[in-house]
A and B are shown apart, each in its own frame.
Chain A
Amino acid sequence: MTTVNDAKVALDVPAPRLLSWPRLWLRLGNGAAAGIVLLWLFPVYWIVLTSFKPTVEINSAIPSFVFTPTLENYRDLFAQFEFSGVLLNSIVVTVVTCIVVVGLGVMAAYALARLKVPGEKHIALWILSLRFLPPIAVAIPFYIQWQDLNLLDTYIGLILVYVAFNLPFAIWLLRGFLADVPAELEEAALLDGLSRLQILWRVVVPVILPGLASTSIFIFVFTWNEYLMALMLTSVNAVTVPVTISKFVMPYTILWGDLSAAVVIQLVPMLAVVYLLQRHIVRGMTLGAVK
């Protein structure tokens, strides 16, 4: 039997320090989380740093974090290697591919989404299988055929191939976005007096604009970074950035300075693009399996 006094004393005992452990772990966890992500990106940081180093520092046995930054690598890139031309090639090819793929893709995806096409499941599966094709399998025939058609080392040759590669994926993605547009919206437009094409252009496309944007971003990234096809189908005139980067690896020496500058330049548009992409990345990357 406790007296009132005993009870009061009992209340004065501080609560067990279980609370501090979870909090400590959480704070450790937060720091660890941030640390891991930032640490993981170290190679990126390193290559950016390298691009501003003078050659002497780059090739020295002791890597340095402190040095006098210089733009000589970038200047050399443009002066010695006509990088501006290469950059232009990449930009033209990528932008044109994007536009063509999204344009054709949204029309095809709309038709597939709204119209009952016979053998639709087969078409969908076929389109999906194209995504899993090793590029080398089709690279060889394209090389041979493009040789015959004189399309090697041209914008058109490369664009034709890139469009073919990206179109299936774009149709797949866009179909997913289109499925989210409620049918009643289009029915209202029908009753309002719009024709099918007007509906597509004035009602559907504005509504799926975010979907169009994220699809084109995927295409942009893929085409901008593509290597194998560009390697095989271009040589001097239409050569793109990735291929040029690999050319800095020469038989007896590697021009790390120019190389790192080129890698950084290639990376910059991608970073800008990610800023816009964020929310829709996952959906595209898992082929719509996760929203």
Chain B
Amino acid sequence: MALAFEGIQKVYPNGFRAVNNLDLEVKDGEFFTLLGPSGCGKTTTLRMIAGLEMPTAGRVFIGGRDFTQTHPRDRDVAMVFQSYALYPHMTVRENLVLNLKVRRVAADEIERRLQEVSRMLGIDRLLDSKPARLSGGQRQRVALGRALIRRPNIFLMDEPLSNLDLKLRERTRTELKSLHERLRVTTVYVTHDQAEALVLSNRIGIMNAGDLLQVGTPQEIYDRPSSIFVAKFVGTPSINLLAVTVRPEDQTLILRQREADWDLAGVTLPADDGVAARVRQTGGQAVLGVRPEAVALSHEAATGAIPAVVEIIEPMGSVNHVVLRFDGPGQATIDDEPFVVVMRSNEPLEQATRVWVTLRPDRLVLFDHQSGKALAGLSPKREWCCI
């Protein structure tokens, strides 16, 4: 079932704006994730789908019908809470079937679904236990089962993996994904973990401070972030942001530093293009976003390469995170963050050695240095496109 938000707003009586003017469409069968930092309004939005919160303005459509005023129990929406919210005084079996019993489903149908769901989630041995005796992972499956057994139109999940330890989280993540592939129920998922969002979703909606900043597939969000915030939020290690100027004569980008400016060879803006126009509008200043993997290092100088020194090497197993320090005072990055490059660990590199940095065109993005909005991105084919 498709889901739509039209002009949704949520303002609390004390004046706090949790959600600002949200317009969103979730396609039928899609796995959609609301991603953002704590307090950005993603959980509030999720709860408005369920009907647990009422929007101050706007409407909620499920399957094309206006459900804004409808009681949660009549929306055919199931939710997995962050704390699982299992009924502590009931056994697993009773927890799972309560919602079916309340809706007067026939006993044999209940039994059938119970067997199906409990076997699918691997909790069929736990049916007579009470939640207190189960591990975190088991409780999570029961919560999932409680939602699944209803065969709802829409699945809601509020950070269901956040209480699990790392290994279990990764495994459950994979299982959730395969579950979704199998059942194809429209799912709205809330998390602050961008890795989860990238792995699980068909599409992601990034939120911050009540605003929906960008909606797109994981790859779109990663390759063409619409703002600095989005670029920084998605991707580990964080994207590197350099202050650059556009040289008017030949439209090349110049890396600005306190004492020396470096020519970013090979990175040229097209002369008469929307892109160039936009950059000109900002007075020729911009911010260049460079993903850690979009950098090539060499031990010899080359034209257009920028000299730097290897400051720290963080071994991560198959790759190394390398922190570079460019010549000259201060950091090259705009917010004094370290400039991180991801290299394969079998490439030899030593601390405190000099290297020469060349930027690869994949995943370079230009941002307006004042508004943070994306201006253009450079594709691997060395073509600029507006974002």
In whole Å, how far is A237's beta carbon from the nearest beta carbon of chain B? 42
Counting CB contacts under 8 A, is A198 at the interface?
yes
Over the window 175-214 of chain A, the binary record of Cβ atoms lying under 8 Å from chain B Cβ atoms (1 yes, 0 no) is: 0000000101101111111110010001100110100000
Q: A184-B81, A188-B81 are in contact. Are A193 and B102 (CB under 8 A)?
A: yes
CA–CA, A198 and B72, complex, Å: 15
- Residues in A with CB closer than 8 Å to B79 are 187-188, 191
Count A-B pairs with CB separation below 8 Å.
Answer: 55
Query: Quick check: A191 and B77 within 8 Å, CB to CB?
Result: yes
Query: Quick check: B89 and A182 within 8 Å, CB to CB?
Result: no
Q: Which of A184, A185, A193 has the most CB of B within 10 A?
A: A193
Q: Smallest CB-CB separation from B71: which chain A residue? A: A190
How many chain B residues have a CB neighbour from A under 8 Å?
20
- Residues in B with CB closer than 8 Å to A182 are 83, 85
Q: Which of A188, A189, A209 has the most CB of B within 10 A?
A: A188
CA–CA, A184 and B80, complex, Å: 10
Q: A182-B83, A184-B85, A185-B87 are in contact. Are A190 and B102 (CB under 8 A)?
A: no
Counting CB contacts under 8 A, is B99 at the interface?
yes
Over the window 45-83 of chain B, the binary record of Cβ atoms lying under 8 Å from chain A Cβ atoms (1 yes, 0 no) is: 000001010000000000000000000110001110111
Query: Quick check: B98 and A187 within 8 Å, CB to CB?
Result: no
Q: A187-B52, A188-B79 are in contact. Are A193 and B85 (CB under 8 A)?
A: no
- Residues in A with CB closer than 8 Å to B50 are 187, 191
Counting CB contacts under 8 A, is B103 at the interface?
yes
CA–CA, A184 and B99, complex, Å: 16
Query: Quick check: A192 and B52 within 8 Å, CB to CB?
Result: no
- Residues in B with CB closer than 8 Å to A198 are 102
Counting CB contacts under 8 A, is B315 at the interface?
no
Query: Quick check: B85 and A188 within 8 Å, CB to CB?
Result: yes
Query: Quick check: B83 and A193 within 8 Å, CB to CB?
Result: no
- Residues in B with CB closer than 8 Å to A188 are 79, 81, 85-87, 146
Over the window 21-51 of chain A, the binary record of Cβ atoms lying under 8 Å from chain B Cβ atoms (1 yes, 0 no) is: 0000000000000000000000000000000
CA–CA, A190 and B72, complex, Å: 7
- Residues in B with CB closer than 8 Å to A193 are 73, 99, 102-103
CA–CA, A192 and B103, complex, Å: 9
Counting CB contacts under 8 A, is B88 at the interface?
yes
Q: Which of A191, A194, A209 has the most CB of B within 10 A?
A: A191
The chain A residues found within 8 Å of chain B, CB to CB, are 182, 184-185, 187-195, 198, 202-203, 206-207, 209
Given contacts A187-B52, A187-B81, A191-B50, 14 further A-B contacts (CB under 8 A): A185-B87, A187-B72, A187-B79, A190-B52, A191-B73, A191-B78, A192-B102, A193-B99, A193-B103, A194-B73, A194-B102, A198-B102, A206-B87, A207-B88
